[in-house]
Amino acid sequence: MLYCADCGKKLWYHTNTVNTEIHFFSCSNYKKDTRGTCPSRHYIRADAVEQVVMLELKKLSAFLKEDEDAFIDLLTEKSNRDVIFETQRLQRVIRRATERCETIVQLHEKLYEDNANGKVSDDWYMEQAHRYEVERMELKARIAAAQEELKRQETMQVGRDNYVGAIRKFMEMQTLTPVLLRELIDRIDVYETEGVGKHRTQRIVIHYRFIDTFSLPEDRAKETYVADTRQGVAVEYLPIPVPAQAPAPLPA
């Protein structure tokens, strides 16, 4: 469930050939390792990911245990806000793409008439008509993807209870099984390490099932996992979502 935050491809699991006790993940699309297109390796040790996930889940279960009402409130507020925002965005995407589709149909009709009247050459007509058709297909795919995503948003609202249930299960077990991991986490995005020496940081964004990313209140989020990989080299893992940015266009 680990993904490269920069190229979106999966991270692959490896074992260090010299020290076989070290297991790590790296981008399956890294250009130097795989002749892919990703500019950097996105190396992360398996034990570090595990520690970060455990720490985050412990923080979540501590929060749930100590102040269940506040936890549920925050979750509800968060998921409602996300769902409303995302639903509106998707509706906008669908509306714009539909309008553009209608425009293309009109442009195509006009082009057809112009060609029939001898105003534009056959070559030009063919070329332009092809372009319109390609764009129309892209828009149709975009609309379909957005509609699919809209459906998923609807299920997010009911997923909150399942999520709390899974956290509770973790609270009781205090250990992670592959099944529980799947119940709790959808995917984890791993960023490239930043900084040097003792000031290295690596962002790891956990996308939980049903609720996606979730930020704890500041006082509960403070503690982070720091791995001393070698003497003088440490990596602090930042399990914080990337600051909000303009919504990325949906893949066509």
Selected range binding Zn ion among 19-27, 70-78, 122-130, 138-146, rule: CB under 5 A: 19-27
Neighbouring residues of 216: CB distance < 8 A, sequence distance ≥ 6: 59, 60, 63
Tokens of 143: 């609309």
Nearer to Zn ion, 30 or 71 (CB): 30
Helix (H, G, I), strand (E, B) or coil at 22: coil
- Tell me how far apart the alpha carbons of residues 211 and 181 are, in angstroms, rounded to a whole number: 15
Told to check if 38 binds Zn ion by CB under 5 A, we report yes
Q: Least distance (Å) from Zn ion to the CB of residue 45?
A: 17
The correct pick among 2, 3, 7, 237 for binding Zn ion (CB under 5 A) is: 7
44 near Zn ion, judged by CB under 5 A: no
Phi, psi of 11 (to 5 degrees): -90, 145
Which range binds Zn ion by CB under 5 A, 35-43, 157-165, 191-199, 226-234?
Answer: 35-43
Q: Is 29 in the site for Zn ion (CB under 5 A)?
A: yes
Query: Which of these segments, 23-31, 108-116, 224-232, 244-252, binds Zn ion (CB under 5 A)?
Result: 23-31
Binding flag, residue 27, Zn ion (CB under 5 A): yes
Q: How far is CA 214 from CA 77, 78, 132, 221, in A?
A: 11, 8, 42, 11
Number of residues that bind Zn ion (CB under 5 A): 6
Element (H, E) at 89: helix 68-116
Token duo for residue 104: 């293309």
- The residues that touch Zn ion, with contacts defined as CB under 5 A, are 4, 6-7, 27, 29, 38
